[in-house]
């Protein structure tokens, strides 16, 4: 279960390459037993973070902003357009959360990736490309306040952002959709009681063996 979302104050890692897909974030060849005892985060962004794109050689690529020692504790990632596109792979937001990020800011996200972020306690924020570029350029600490739906770069004006009200409640309370639905188990039982009367043929399989 994700931690409740507090106000985040952090520098941001600028990774403004467009179209970073879920296979770049968590390479398929490293999934399914290919991790060799290493965490998802070790191979995350493997092709960008390691020299030769090879995590097994393990030499960090100093040119990659994700390896900038100044930003080692950053909780905000500034990304390019269409971030997280490609196949529905929940390991992608999982790995990003494991790298310590809580907020992703990009001009656009892959649809499924965007939804999956919330399941991992990550807040994805869509801002215009020029704004994302400005934030990357300023290199200042950002204060991300989910309750107020604002991003405030230190010494600058607040920037408002949109988020679905239910997703917001979930992040602030630290529950995901599973927790949210489990908390409504009485409603579910009541629905099933009524449905067993109205559409008994759906539930007849419960009596079969």
Partner 1 sequence: MVPLPETLIDRIWGAHVVSSLPGGYDLLHVDRHLVHDLGGPFAFAGLEQRSLPMQSPALTFATADHCVSSAPGRTESTNPSAKALLPLLRSSCAGTGVTFFDIDSADQGIVHVIAPELGITLPGSTVLCGDSHTCTNGALGALAWGIGTSEVVLVLATQCIIERRPPQCRVELAGMLPDRVYAKDVSLALLARYGTEAAAGFAVEYVGTAVRAMSMEERMTVCNLTVELGAKIGLMAPDETTIDYVRGRRYAPTGADWDEAILAWSQLRSDDGATWDRELHLDVDVLAPQVSWGTTPAHTIAIDANVPVRTDAADAAEADSWERALDYVGLAPGDPIAGTPIDRVFIGSCANSRLSDLQVAAAIVEAAGRRVPTSVTAWVVPGSQQVKRAAEELGLHDIFRGAGFEWREPGCSQCLATNEEYIGPGERCLSTSNRNFVGRQGPGSRTHLASPATAAASALAGVITDPRTV
Residues near partner 1 (CB under 8 A) are 1, 33, 88, 90, 111-112, 115-116, 119, 164-169, 176-178, 180-182, 184-185, 187-188, 191-192, 195, 199-206, 208
Angle, CA of 123, 124 and 127, to the nearest 5°: 130
What does DSSP assign to residue 83?
A: B
Residue 20 has a CB neighbour count (10 Å cut-off) of 24
Residue among 150, 19, 168 nearest 79 (CA): 19
Indicate the residue among 116 and 152 with the shorter CB distance to partner 1: 116
Work out how close the CB of 102 gets to partner 1 at its nearest, in angstroms, rounded to a whole number: 18
Indicate the residue among 43 and 114 with the shorter CB distance to partner 1: 114
Work out how close the CB of 152 gets to partner 1 at its nearest, in angstroms, rounded to a whole number: 24
CB-side neighbour CA atoms (13 Å) of 52: 6
Work out how close the CB of 132 gets to partner 1 at its nearest, in angstroms, rounded to a whole number: 22
Work out how close the CB of 10 gets to partner 1 at its nearest, in angstroms, rounded to a whole number: 26
Angle, CA of 93, 112 and 191, to the nearest 5°: 105
Indicate the residue among 7 and 195 with the shorter CB distance to partner 1: 195
**Backbone φ, ψ for residue 131 (5° rounding):** -65, -45
Indicate the residue among 130 and 185 with the shorter CB distance to partner 1: 185
Indicate the residue among 92 and 127 with the shorter CB distance to partner 1: 92
What does DSSP assign to residue 79?
A: E
Work out how close the CB of 202 gets to partner 1 at its nearest, in angstroms, rounded to a whole number: 5
């Amino acid at each position: 279960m994700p931690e409740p979302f507090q106000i985040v104050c952090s520098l941001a890692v600028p990774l403004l390459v467009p179209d970073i897909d879920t296979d770049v974030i968590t390479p398929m060849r490293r999934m399914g037993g290919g991790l060799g005892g290493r965490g998802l985060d070790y191979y995350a962004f493997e092709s960008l973070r390691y020299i030769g794109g090879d995590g097994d050689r393990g030499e960090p690529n100093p040119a990659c902003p994700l390896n900038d020692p100044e930003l080692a504790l950053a909780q905000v990632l500034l990304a390019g357009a269409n971030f997280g596109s490609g196949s529905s792979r929940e390991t992608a937001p999982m790995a990003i959360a494991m790298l310590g990020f809580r907020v992703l800011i990009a001009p656009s996200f892959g649809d499924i990736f965007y939804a999956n972020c919330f399941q991992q306690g990550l807040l994805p924020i869509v801002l215009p490309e020029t704004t994302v570029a400005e934030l990357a350029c300023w290199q200042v600490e950002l204060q991300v306040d989910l309750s107020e739906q604002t991003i405030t770069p230190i010494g600058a004006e607040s920037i408002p952002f949109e988020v679905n009200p239910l997703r917001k409640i979930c992040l602030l309370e630290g529950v995901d959709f599973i927790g949210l639905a489990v908390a409504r188990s009485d409603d579910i039982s009541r629905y099933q009681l009524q449905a067993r009367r109205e559409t008994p043929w759906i539930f007849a399989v419960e009596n079969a063996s």
